Structure 1
């Protein structure tokens, strides 16, 4: 016998509405465990399914209890008794267990156990009995079908007590005995009253008839008691199979047109209704699980798309931030260039003004040169006239002879000075003409420079306007990029929120699938036919399940 250790004195008390259900195969290995049993045992479902059922056996349980259990269920009978189980942490819990063989087509395919919370008095009684059985001090008691019963003479007396008027069979037999007693009394009184008028043969016949009537009454009562007890036993076994989750085995026996047939009909309708409900629930669970799987798949795709969108938005946000920095820098540069362009425009304007002033000055020089040329012309005329006068003076001095020699020398000097003055005037005139030509050329250059400076000023002004427009556009772009960045940030926050909601939806779908799996596991406690039931097997089909005809009315 398996001895699970360690153990402690920590008791786990079941709730009133807590029902522990499990199913084992013919070798005692767990093939099904409902959540209540899993929770009470302390093991996980994976640890329980496939393990021998004695994984929860407590060392305080006597071997005689399990010998009685296996002996009872292997005979095809149900076993009901108190069981103390061990939890995984070493604690324990008491249950009132019912173990029923699941029979299909006359063969036991598995065993179903349904456990409920016992009363404290049942626990105390079981502790005392199991302790005496475990220690070998039990005298005059034995276990039979999970119930503690006396052994020996006490057992015989206890079996005789079964005939008290508490059961249906006992009451029917008591009714037969009472009827037979009344019949014997009435027949005896009649025979006694007429014995002096009856012959011996007639008296013997009367006694024989009385004995036959008594036998008939006993036989009828016994047969009726057996029929009723058989029906109740079959109904009890049938309901135990239903309670154990076996919906595949129909109620044995043919339907009749009496109350028994009505009861069988109602029980069979109940079974088939449960089969239909179980199939509908199972189909709904499968559809729900498939829908949950589809939702999970779509949610996974949505999560992937949301993740990619969030990554793209983060990348776009980073790019927009970098672009915003660039545009901000461009705007600053544009403003700086605008200031420099305004400076250049001012300088160009001042340069144009200087060129204009230079042009005016050159015009003044030209005018002065013209005036100097006029003065030089006057000097040249004076030198020419002086030269003429000197020639005339020289001629007059020559006529004067010796008296005019001094005057001739002066006239010669004057003529020489006049010639030098004329030569100088001509040179000055040539220089003035050359200077005038150069000044004219300079004026033309200055005029062209002025025109160029005006063009430069206009170009600088155009560049300034363009730079102003660029600066304004950069400012607008910066504002737009800030707006786009905020929108991207909001979209990124929304995408992250969507990702969180997708994750929540994924958790909800996972919980739905887990709950669906648990519900499917819970509905597996009911065994139905693997193939769908044909139409002839459904409730209400007259060929398969015809409602029994009502009983005829008395006197009909």
Structure 2
């Protein structure tokens, strides 16, 4: 069981709840070990204690040992333990402890004081697995004590008469016999001498029994411990001089059992961990080799990327130059379109002026046609007057012959005038038709010029868009070229970093190999440690 707790000095016993009927069993080869200070505060708990208690290491350290007390344990058991430990003697008993979740487990506890520089500094508790019979007897005892049916049996160490007292009696025997002989008469002297002769061997045998058997038991115990037997029972009954020796050997045996159990457990744990570490190192080594291959592949890819970026950068710079030339050509074409638009606007203006002149000409032709009509009418009237004059001249006879000749000339002139008027009218009509056709053609031409102007406006807008796009392409190409140059620089830096990573991977591979060797050496050391302590394994 555990070392004494603060409540052993009069404080109320701790009642840990809840509890269950679920029992746990100790591993016979894994004793529970704990160290406490003089107040019972836990300073150390081995892994076996941590595992079966259900508490974490940090939950146990710094806590009173009655943290694991089971309510079925009578307070008298702890009082007996405390009295025994107060006397600087070890205590041994069967104890029922509580797990964190309320389950329980039985232990055979051996609690002994810890002495440093002749001063008691704390207590060590070593708990092992009890036999079923011990558990049954202890359970019945504790139930009876809790029901006040019986008293808890106190721990008592039997001691024989000290060797010092025996030697003192042997030293006093001759003096006693001599004094008795002096005090008695002749007959009494012989009686005193006979009593001395008989008492001397008996006293010598008694003294021998007080020295030799305890020494023999001590020697046998030490030989058993040296041979690896730590489970033997040691009879500690002896004279006071040898009692402390036997108690010390008993405590040493229990402590060594706990130490070797922890060493074996730790050695096995180290061995298994070294194997696991070897496996992990092997996996890490494989990953490092895979990583090295990946780094080399990445380096090659980065190198190809750098070359591609360089080629793209050159192509982009060339595209930027072509975009600049395109922008210049577009600018020239745009200027030519503007000039053409200006010229077409001049043509439209001149055609408008020509249309106005032709319209005026058409008006003048119409006026001429009107005049020709008037002339025709005058010619017709003149011709009619000439006919009338000829008729009158014929009536006049010879007198009017001269007048008739004049009238005939006038008639002829009127006919020629009428004929000329018809020709003028036809000519004027042809001029009008030509003028109308010219106006129509000029109107159509003006419309075509307007359409051409509109198309040139659209072309100008298109050229403007092309120029903006060309400018954008030029700017984007420059930006892309700059970014590609930066990318090329970054790729070069990345390639350098990857080279550094590759070197680090190689260094890590070397370090992992060193760790692998160290892990193998650790496993070998653990195996050697296990082999050195394995002869104690059967006695745990």
Normalised by the shorter chain, which TM-score bucket? 0.3 to 0.5
Q: Which has more helix, going by share of residues?
A: 2
- TM-score, scaled to structure 2: 0.45
- TM-score, scaled to structure 1: 0.44
